Amino acid sequence: MLFGLNSCENSNYLPNSTTLTIAPLNEQILSQQAFLFKILGDISEDAIVKWDFGDNMTKTGSSVKHTYSKPGVYTISLYLESNEKKELQSSAIIRVHSNKTIGLPQVFLDTDARCEADDQHFIAYTLYSDLDVLGINSIHNGDPYSEAINYGEVYNIMNLMRLAGKPWNSMPVDRVFHGATEQLTPPSSGVWWDTEPVITDGSKAILAAARGASPDNPLIVLPVGPCTNVASAILQARNEGFELRDRMKIIWLGGLENDYHEEYNGGNDPWSVYVMGQSGLDVQILLGHPTSLKLNIDKRIESHLYPNNDLGDYLMTIIPVFQWGSTTVLKSIHDVCVPAVVISNYKGYNWVTKTAPVEVTGPENDYRWVESDSSSTVRLIWDIDGEAMKTDLFNTLNGRPTKLIK
């Protein structure tokens, strides 16, 4: 079965509003072991709480024990039945582990997939890697029509991977979510938490995945476009009293040496970067310039690195030789650096060679970075081993990913 632009809609299991929520997990879940699931919030005496665990099993009650028979990624849906109405209240996207996958980095991709050629490399690299991909969001890249195009490109890449031999059921084909079509609007107060989130299936899916993560293995969100979805999820969590600090980390590709407003990803929603930077979450920012320029390719002499299949042909065709507006700077595969940072951190490879703590300032300071002491939760990634990352990218595309599973 092939999925087109509008053939896989996921809003059926993402609530429109929150009355009850699934209590965030405090530990990782193993298959064949019973786990107690609870709710947060009050219910009326005549209401019935129903759970759908995503494995064809349902249960009733405010707190229930459930055992998953097989490892995998599941979506838990919490419903409230009252006065003959059944309403979805909350969702959680969870990884049920085997002993071999406990502690595996859990990532959520957020991409303007058709914007340029590096996003497609980013999606394929991550899905071919051993990283645990819980979902993929699309996001606008500056105009309201771009999000739908970017959403379709995610499925295009997965279909090319299918043609190259990767089974559909090994990819998150049912967990691709529509994200924001517009940027955040700064509030008149100038206070970041007064911002109205742009609520979408994408922002709700990030929260669902964070709810299913545990403090000993938090969700890592990987935005490689505007940060609208991520910032909206942060604002939604704050509004519902959901503490993300121990459950979610962020690695964003964007920004320049001194600011983030003049760079493409940041410029398409600078206020969202400010919200993200002020949130208190662990944020790593891999600069679009100069850092990610270290991972580049010259396809005139390196085309042999691509796999000899439909995906490889497509990636090699769309990648230009030079950066936009340049005839001398080789094309960087910017976004690939982000999952490479996750792999490097997990394996202790030291592909990240220089970082610095910063404060993320707002429009009053022209959206600039300001040097900070080591207590800041935001770090700029200044230097990387681009050659090591490129080697891992092409090894992975050719079926030889870094082994992360035990």
Neighbours of 49 (CB within 10 A): 20
Residues 16, 53 share a domain: yes
Reported confidence tier of residue 84, pLDDT bands at 50, 70, 90: confident
pLDDT of residue 46: 78
**For residue 154, is pLDDT > 50?**
yes
Percent of the chain with pLDDT over 70: 96
d(CA 365, CA 270): 12
179 and 314 belong to one structural domain: yes
Give the 3-state DSSP-derived string for 322-357, with helices as H, strands as E and coil as C. Answer: ECCCCCCCEEECHHHHHHHHHHHHHHCCCCEEEEEE
Same-domain check for residues 62 and 209: no
pLDDT at 399 over 50: yes
Does residue 12 register a pLDDT over 50?
A: no
Q: Can you tell me the distance from the alpha carbon of 105 to that of 233, in angstroms, rounded to the nearest whole number?
A: 20
pTM above the 0.75 mark? yes
> Are 52 and 199 found together in one domain?
no
Exposed/middle/buried for 190, CB within 10 Å: 0-12, 13-18, 19+? Answer: exposed
Q: How many domains does the chain have?
A: 2
- Per-residue pLDDT reduced to its tens digit, 24-39: 999 999 999 999 999 9
pLDDT tens string 166-191: 999 999 999 999 999 999 999 999 99
404: in domain: no
Residue 77 belongs to a domain with what CATH number?
A: 2.60.40.10
Task: Give yes or no: residues 171 and 272 share one domain.
Answer: yes
Write down the pLDDT at residue 18. Answer: 55
Classify each residue of 69-83 as buried b or exposed e, where b means 16 or more C-beta atoms within 10 Å of its C-beta. Answer: eebebbbbbbbbeee
Taking only the tens place, the pLDDT of each residue in 364-385 is 999 999 999 889 999 999 999 9
Q: At 14, is the pLDDT very low, low, confident or very high (cuts 50, 70, 90)?
A: low
Mark whether 60 and 181 lie in a shared domain.
no
In the numeric block, which tokens belong to residue 51?
């759970």
Q: How many whole angstroms separate alpha carbon 305 and alpha carbon 319?
A: 13
**Confidence band for 8, pLDDT divided at 50, 70 and 90:** very low
Residue 130 falls inside a structural domain: yes
In a domain, 5, yes or no: no
* 47 and 138 together in one domain: no
pLDDT tens readout for residues 280-327: 999 999 999 999 999 999 999 999 999 999 999 999 999 999 988 888
Residue 121 has pLDDT above 70, yes or no: yes
In this prediction, residue 1 carries a pLDDT of 27
Q: What percent of the chain clears pLDDT 90, i.e. is strictly above it?
A: 89
Specify whether 91 is located in the same domain as 175: no
Residue 226 has pLDDT above 80, yes or no: yes
Say yes or no to pLDDT of 104 above 80: yes
Q: Of 152, 153, 150, whose CA–CA distance to 112 is shortest?
A: 150
Average pLDDT value over all residues in the chain: 94
Q: Is residue 403 part of a domain?
A: no
Both 80 and 129 in a single domain? no
Give the residue from 97, 128, 153 where a domain finishes. 97
Q: Of 62, 80, 97, which residue constitutes the final position of a domain? A: 97
**What pLDDT is recorded for position 17?**
54
Residue 260 phi/psi, 5° resolution?
-125, -5
Q: Taking a C-beta distance cutoff of 8 angstroms, is the pair 253, 265 a contact?
A: yes
Reduced to 3 states (helix: H, G, I; strand: E, B; else coil), residue 378 is strand
* Residues 152 and 289 placed together within one structural domain of the fold: yes
Q: Which two tokens stand for residue 11?
A: 């809003």
Residue 6 lies in a domain: no
* Cα 262 to Cα 171, 189, 190, 256, 336, distances in angstroms: 35, 24, 20, 7, 21
- Inside any domain, residue 185: yes
pLDDT confidence of 359, banded at 50, 70, 90?
very high
Tell me if 217 is assigned to some domain: yes
Q: Tell me: the pLDDT tens digits for 46-58?
A: 789 999 999 999 9
pLDDT band at 85 (very low <50, low <70, confident <90, very high): confident
Peptide bond into 218 cis (omega under 30): no
- Kindly tell me if the per-residue pLDDT of 198 is higher than 90: yes
* Amino acid of residue 271: W
pLDDT of residue 325: 81
Give a yes or no: residue 3 inside a domain: no
Q: Are 83 and 172 in a shared domain?
A: no
Mean pLDDT is lowest, of 82-91, 127-136, 149-158, 326-335, for 82-91
The residue range of the domain holding 163 is 106-397
Assign 3 a pLDDT band (cuts: 50, 70, 90): very low
Kindly report the CATH number assigned to the domain that includes residue 117.
3.90.245.10
- State the average pLDDT over residues 208-219: 97
pLDDT band at 111 (very low <50, low <70, confident <90, very high): very high
Decide if pLDDT at 4 tops 70: no
Q: Which of 97, 121, 141 is the last residue of a domain?
A: 97
Do 247 and 373 have their domain in common? yes
